[in-house]
Amino acid sequence: MEKIGFIGLGIMGTPMAGHLIAAGYPAYLHTVGEVPSSLVAAGGIACRSAAEVAAQADIVIIMVPDTPHVEAVLFGENGVAESISAGKVVVDMSSISPVATKEFAQKIEALGADYIDAPVSGGDVGAKAASLTIMCGGKESVFERVRPLFEKMGKNITLVGEAGAGQITKVANQIIVALTIEAVGEALLLASKAGADPARVRQALMGGFANSRILEVHGERMIKRNFAPGFRIALHQKDLNLALSTARTLGLSLPNTATCQELFNSCAAHGGEAWDHSGMVRALELMANFEIGQSA
């Protein structure tokens, strides 16, 4: 059985690592601060650095917030690159720059190891339920080696293409999610201001072509005023920055993505960086001077 390293044990990484430990994989763990005691109690081994994880593990999984964090884990002091060796695999499950991902893959492969980018969708709910969507970029042979680990953490697992392809797929995913949150927010806000019961409107829409996972989950959040994360607005801002910067590089215009980013920026300006991203509706409500569920 492969020995697993897991670096980054936050709201996503902790349950993901927990599934691997529960499946019987030897797991070497490192994170900012203390490794969660629940993982150690389950059999995980706490390590002092990313380099120590890479020295012990056959496959090193990284799950951290952004591109600079991945770079520091890989190439910083006491980083993975200091002790990675031929035959090992780095799997980055963070959501980061597709351009940087290609550079990181080249550097790791130059050390004799392999690299897969495998960002996920499904949030903390999917991480806890082991139902994440996993979008992968890398060599097919390496993907097949790592697939059994992915199957312990997710359900919809796809090799999209070469290094960086997983990350560009995740960027596309985050565009769709943001625009759909905005559409659901507008629809429920309009219905509520017109005097309709937004909960019943949502129930009716879920039986038709407008149904979506976002209407189901985030529509309910909007109605019940539950904006505890979930997936934080600050992280979705990061993802849309990746989308817009990549679009500029490619000479593309993404006007509705830019609008959603401005709505997230408005939320952040009102102290909402840590709100769940369904909280985008609050920016729409501020412009309308009306909250979903308020008496019309």
178 Rama sector, left if φ>0, alpha if ψ -120 to 50, beta otherwise: alpha
Q: Which of 46, 37, 41 is nearest to 6 (CA)?
A: 46
Q: φ, ψ for residue 257 (rounded to 5)?
A: -65, -45
Of 88, 102, 170, 238, the active-site residue reads 170
* DSSP letter for each residue of 57-74: -SEEEE--SSHHHHHHHH
Scanning the structure block, which residue is given the tokens 């596309």?
172
C-alpha span between 260 and 266 (Å, rounded): 10
Is 238 assigned a catalytic role? no
C-alpha span between 75 and 255 (Å, rounded): 36
- Altogether, the residues listed in the chain come to a count of 296
8 Å CB contact between 282 and 267: yes
Long-range contacts of 240-244 (CB under 8 A, 24+ apart): 240/174, 240/175, 240/178, 240/264, 242/95, 242/96, 242/97, 242/98, 242/167, 242/171, 242/174, 243/171, 243/172, 243/174, 243/175
Active site residues: 170
